[in-house]
Amino acid sequence: MGAVPLNFTVDGPVDGPVLVLASSLGTTGAMWQPQLADLTRQFRVVRFDHRGHGASPVPPGPYRMSDLGGDVVLLLDQLGVERVHCAGISMGGMVALWLAENHPDRVDRLVLACTTADQGSPANWQERAELVRSNGMIAIAETVVGRWLPPDYAAEHPWQRAELVDAVLATPVEGYASCCAAIASMDLLPGLATVVAPTLVIAASLDQSTPAEQGRRIAEGIPHARFELIEGAAHLANISHASTFNRLVTDFLTG
């Protein structure tokens, strides 16, 4: 199957530079809500649901990173935009990096947050896919969300944690498992040196899913990339440390 049309939303000034936000595995474009107020002051912000997530189609799997990235290329074509800024977190960062490596003419500036270029252990992702296929999303929801927010922040913001758990539970099993396959087969390390877009890599000091050294490895592989570490943040640094995250992204994209 080729590219599929994705569910998306657009916010911000009609004449602003287009900024595409790619979300993490098990979430939808709603995960970027903490960024909207700041980023839509200057940017035309496009959020979307990956295939197999939210209101986007759930084609039969398994998927590959080229499938997820190809869907974004189709989205840009549908929007009629040639070049965009692209920011992604976790799996969304992998998709954004794939886009920058394979379609450099479409990416102006690139932000890669709490992500990796090579998962290194395909068996872990294969096991996770098998687990949700056998037992449903409830088998992993609490565990994965437990790694997304710092414990103190999660305790003080139980409603945000609950929203994330609900997002994971609402993700179609086939979509989630097929995206696990895309991550398991991914290896974007060889293409890092080919990235020409100015790049900001953001890592989080408490990130257990994609530890900071993985982000640093990306920054070292992309020519002239900038690396920033958010202290005290976990995997979804854009939520718990939204003000710091928003400032880093805005300063980079406008600098």
- Distance (Å, rounded) from C-alpha 33 to C-alpha 58? 24
Single pTM value for the model: 0.98
> Pairing relation of β-strands 84-89 and 199-204?
unpaired
Q: What is the pLDDT of residue 1?
A: 67
Would you say the C-alpha torsion 43, 166, 179, 6 has a positive or negative sign?
Answer: negative
Q: How far is CA 12 from CA 3, 39, 40, 43, 228, in A?
A: 26, 8, 4, 6, 26
Q: What is the pLDDT of residue 244?
A: 98
Mean pLDDT confidence for 24-51: 98
- The C-alpha R_g of the chain, in whole angstroms, comes to 17
Per residue in 192-225, pLDDT (tens digit) is 999 999 999 999 999 999 999 999 999 999 999 9
Mean pLDDT confidence for 102-106: 98
Per residue in 226-254, pLDDT (tens digit) is 999 999 999 999 999 999 999 999 999 99
Per residue in 10-20, pLDDT (tens digit) is 999 999 999 99
Q: What is the pLDDT of residue 121?
A: 83
Residue 120: pLDDT over 90: no
CA triple 60-33-184, angle to 5 deg:
35
Residue 123: pLDDT over 80: yes
Task: Output the CATH code of domain 8-254.
Answer: 3.40.50.1820
Query: Could you tell me where the beta strands, DSSP code E, fall in 73-189?
Result: 84-89, 107-113
Q: How confident is the model at residue 35 (pLDDT cuts 50, 70, 90)?
A: very high
Average pLDDT value over all residues in the chain: 97
> Pairing relation of β-strands 107-113 and 226-230?
unpaired
CA triple 169-164-90, angle to 5 deg:
100
Per residue in 143-162, pLDDT (tens digit) is 999 999 999 999 999 999 99
